[in-house]
Chains A and B, each alone.
Chain A
Amino acid sequence: MSILQILDIGLAGLVLAVAAWTVFARDAFAAVVGFVAYGLLLSLVWVRLFAVDVALTEAAIGSGEHPTITHQPTSGVLLIGAAGRLRKVEASRDDELPGASLRLFAAALCIFVTLVLAGVVLSLPDPGPTLAPEAARHLAETGLGNPITAVLLSYRSFDTMLEKVVLVLAVVGVWSLAADQYWGGAAGNPRGAEPDGTRALLAQVLPPLGILIGIHMVWVGADEPGGAFQGGAILAAMWMITMMAGLTEMPSIRSRLLRLVLVAGPAVFVAVGVAGVAFASGVFAYPTGFAKPLILFIEAFMTLSIAVTLPVLVAGPPKRLRQQ
C-alpha cells in the first residue's frame, strides 16, 4: 500500500468520524463547529479526487455542487447565526424537542438513503457512463481550457442561469421573513461608532488581498480551476468581514442599487442567452469566436451578484429601520 493510499483511507475515516460526531453533538454550537471541520476535510477529499474546482467551491462556498445554497465557512456563519437565534428559544421549548421515535425514524431514513446511494454507486458499470470525452473534444471551440467552466457556461449554461435565478428567489424568501414594521429596513448591525480594534485590523488588511485573489480566481477559471462561484464567494466573505468589524453596514432592502446588483448576474446571463437567437444559432448559443469574451463578460456580472447575494442571505431579514 502506497503512502498516498494510507493517507486517503485515513482521510476517509476522519471524515466519517467527524460526521458522526456532528450528528451526535450535544448542543447546536458544537454541532456547527463539527460541521465546519467536516467541510474543511471534505475539501481535502475533493482535492484527492482530482476535483479541484469542487474543492475550491467547497472551501469558499461549501456544498461543492452548483447551485450553492450551503457555504462553508459562509454556511458556518449562517448556521452559527441560526444557532445563536435558536439558543434563546431552545431552553424554553424542551417539551417540543423531537421524541425518541422521531429521531429513530430520521436516523433510519438517512441510513436508507445512504445505502441506496452506495448501492447505486457501487453497481455502476466500470468505466461509468460519462460524457467527459465528448466534452473534452469540443473544448477548443469554446476557447476555454477548463472543462468545468465549459460545462457550466457553455454546454449547460441554461442550468447555471437558472441557478442564479434560484439565488435571487432565496433572497426574496429571506427578506419576506421580515416583520411588517421592519419592511424596507436593513438587516445586520449598523456601522459602529468605534469599530472594534482587532476586527477592524482584519477588515482593513484582508479585503484588498481578498479582492485581488477573488478576481484572480474568476479570471483564471477560464483555463485552470476557479470560476465565478469561487471568486464571488471570496469577495462575499471580504464584504462580510468589513460588516462584522462594523466598518460598513448592509444597505436597506429598499436600496435600488442593492436590488440592481442582485439581479445583474442572472439578467445579463439571460440577455446574452436571448441575444444568441439574433447573433448565433439559437438561445444560449454563442457566436463562433466570441465564446470566451462573452463567457468572461457573463462571469463578471455573475461574480458581482454572488458577492452581494451571499452576504444578503447571511444577514437575514431586516431587523431594524435605518436611522439617519
Chain B
Amino acid sequence: MNEFLLSAAGIILFTVAVGLVRVLSGPTNADRIMATQLLGTGGITSLLLVASATGVRGVDDVALGLALLAAFAAIAFVDNVAAPDSDTSKGDRTE
C-alpha cells in the first residue's frame, strides 16, 4: 500500500512538473500563474500521499498551511499580472 501511495505521489508530482513548461513558454503571465497553481495543488496532494505513506508527524500541517496560502499567492500575483504591453493592477475594481 505504501509503495502504491508513494508511486502515486511521484506520478502526480512529475505530472505537474511537466506542466511547469507553461511557466517557461506560456505566452501570457496568466499561463505562468496557472502552471504555478497546478504545481501547488499537485505538491500539496503529493505531500498528503507521502504523509500517509511515511507517517511523519506534522506533514499534514504543512499541506494545510500551503493550501491556506495558495489562494493568497494567487490573489497577490493576479493583482500584479500585466501583459507586456498593458499595465493593469487592481483594475477590475471598476467591474
Contact = CB atoms under 8 A, between A and B. Distances in A.
Do A and B touch each other in the complex, judged by CB within 8 A?
yes
Interface residues of B, number: 51
Contacts of A55: 59, 62
Given A7-B9, A77-B72, A230-B65, 13 more contacts: A11-B13, A29-B82, A44-B47, A55-B59, A55-B62, A189-B90, A194-B93, A202-B75, A206-B68, A209-B68, A217-B65, A234-B65, A241-B71
B23 A3 contact: no
A153 interface: no
B82 A213 contact: no
Nearest to B71: A202
Contacts, number: 154
B92 A196 contact: yes
Given A56-B61, A73-B76, A33 B23 contact: yes
Interface of A: 3-4, 6-7, 10-11, 14, 18, 21, 27, 29-30, 33-34, 36-37, 40-41, 43-44, 47-48, 50, 52-53, 55-56, 59-60, 73, 76-77, 80-81, 83-84, 87-88, 189, 192, 194, 196, 199, 202, 206, 209-210, 213, 217, 220, 224-226, 230, 234, 237, 240-241, 244-246
Contact of B29 (A30, A76, A77, A202): A30
Given A189-B90, A194-B93, A246-B93, A29 B69 contact: no
Contact of A10 (B14, B58, B61): B14
Secondary structure of the A contact surface, majority rule:
helix
Interface of B: 3, 6-7, 9-10, 13-14, 17, 20, 23-24, 29, 32-33, 35-36, 39-40, 43, 46-47, 50, 54, 56-59, 61-62, 64-66, 68-69, 71-73, 75-77, 79-82, 84, 87, 89-90, 92-93, 95
